[in-house]
């Protein structure tokens, strides 16, 4: 193990050996085109993409490449594993809290720059209260070296993926990089 790799002790999970900790990145799709999105993943060396959306579709022809079947097909061509974890997506009531905050602030979802504090608190309670960071990493397996948490919002602070990344960073000491594909004229 090199000096830049971190080890995650998994002794609490039974007889599992210590695994090298993966590098963690996050990425959204809004504001990118297909070429820049996949180029960002490749440049970061992503080998595993964890889709934390409940609905695996994105509205608009410009984002058709991020719809589940097309996304999975392109990732497979690039040698990137796809894992869907809907259990890490906010539930309908929690999403409704953010939608109400967006409406009250007259902010379009694609223009949001931060999460509403009530949404963040609800997400932490709903999805992260019983979340086991070590088990999450163990479930990815030893082949997961550079893991991307994926959702739709361009700004990490406007998406629940930042809350999950912060939790993994806090619990396991992982470094996190928030990827942004090149700006396009789609926004």
Provide the CATH number for the domain around residue 171. 3.40.1010.10
- Asked if the structure places residue 163 within a domain, the reply is yes
**Among the listed residues 52, 18, 34, 30, the one whose alpha carbon sits nearest the alpha carbon of residue 134:** 18
How many domains does one find in the chain? 1
- Asked if the structure places residue 59 within a domain, the reply is yes
Of residues 8 and 53, which shows the higher confidence score? Answer: 53
Rounded Cα distance between 128 and 131, Å, is 5
Q: Which range of residues forms the domain containing residue 69?
A: 19-86+133-178
Of residues 156 and 182, which shows the higher confidence score? Answer: 156
Q: pLDDT tens across 96-130, in order?
A: 888 888 788 888 777 788 999 999 999 999 999 99
- Asked if the structure places residue 8 within a domain, the reply is no
Residues 6+ apart with CB under 8 A from 16: 10, 138
- Asked if the structure places residue 6 within a domain, the reply is no
**pLDDT for 12:** 43
**pLDDT for 10:** 45
- Asked if the structure places residue 185 within a domain, the reply is no
- Asked if the structure places residue 37 within a domain, the reply is yes
Q: What is the pTM of this model?
A: 0.85
CA atoms within 13 A on the CB side of 182: 9
- Asked if the structure places residue 61 within a domain, the reply is yes
Q: Is 14 left (phi over 0), alpha (psi -120 to 50) or beta?
A: left
- Asked if the structure places residue 94 within a domain, the reply is no
């Amino acid at each position: 193990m090199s000096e830049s790799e971190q080890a995650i002790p998994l002794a609490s999970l039974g007889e599992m050996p210590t695994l090298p900790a993966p590098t963690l990145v996050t990425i959204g799709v809004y504001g990118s085109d297909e070429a820049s999105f996949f180029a960002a993943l490749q440049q970061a060396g992503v080998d595993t993409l964890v889709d934390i959306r409940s609905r695996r579709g994105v509205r608009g022809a410009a984002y058709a490449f991020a719809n589940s079947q097309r996304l999975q097909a392109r990732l497979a061509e690039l040698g990137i594993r796809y894992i869907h974890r809907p259990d890490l997506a906010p539930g309908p009531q929690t999403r409704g809290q953010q939608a109400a905050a967006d409406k009250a602030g007259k902010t379009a979802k694609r223009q949001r720059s931060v999460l509403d504090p009530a949404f963040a608190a609800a997400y932490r309670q709903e999805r992260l209260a019983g979340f086991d960071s070590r088990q999450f990493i163990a479930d990815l397996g030893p082949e997961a070296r550079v893991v991307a948490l994926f959702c739709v919002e361009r700004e990490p602070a406007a998406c629940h993926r930042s809350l999950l990344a912060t939790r993994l960073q806090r619990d396991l000491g992982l470094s996190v990089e928030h990827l942004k594909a090149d700006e396009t004229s789609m926004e």
